[in-house]
C-alpha cells in the first residue's frame, strides 16, 4: 500500500508542475525572441522537461516530514522578472560595444 500512496502523491505533485511547463515556456519566450522559432520554443521545452524529471526524482527521494512553503506575495519576483526582461531587451539584445 505504501508505494501506491507514494505514486499517487508523486502524480499529484508532478502533474501540476507539468501543466505549469507551458506557462514557464511562455515566460522564457520574450527572453529568446529575436531568434529562430526552433531555438525560441524547443530549447526551453527540452530544458523544462529535464527539470521536471529532476523534480520528480527529488520528490521520490525526499525525506518524510520535509514540507515546502508557498510564496506569499508574488510582487517582488514579478518586478524582478520585468526588470530582468528590460535589461535583456535594452542592453544585451543590441549588444555591448567593446
- Residues 6-18: pLDDT tens digits? 566 666 766 777 7
Residue 41 lies in a domain: yes
pLDDT in tens, 11-69: 676 677 777 777 888 888 888 877 888 888 888 888 888 887 887 777 777 666 656 55
Which pTM does this prediction carry? 0.50
Residue 44 lies in a domain: yes
Residue 56 lies in a domain: yes
Look up the domain containing 60 and give its range. Answer: 2-72
Cβ-in-10-Å burial (0-12, 13-18, 19+) of 1 comes to exposed
Residue 98 lies in a domain: no
Amino acid at each position: 500500500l505504501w508505494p501506491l500512496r507514494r505514486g499517487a502523491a508523486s502524480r499529484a505533485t508532478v502533474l501540476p508542475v507539468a501543466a505549469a511547463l507551458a506557462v514557464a515556456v511562455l515566460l522564457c519566450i520574450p527572453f529568446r525572441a529575436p531568434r529562430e522559432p526552433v531555438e525560441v520554443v524547443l530549447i526551453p521545452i527540452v530544458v523544462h522537461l529535464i527539470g521536471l524529471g529532476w523534480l520528480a526524482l527529488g520528490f521520490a527521494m525526499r525525506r518524510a516530514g520535509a514540507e515546502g512553503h508557498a510564496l506569499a506575495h508574488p510582487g517582488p519576483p514579478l518586478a524582478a522578472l520585468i526588470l530582468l526582461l528590460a535589461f535583456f531587451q535594452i542592453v544585451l539584445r543590441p549588444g555591448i560595444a567593446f
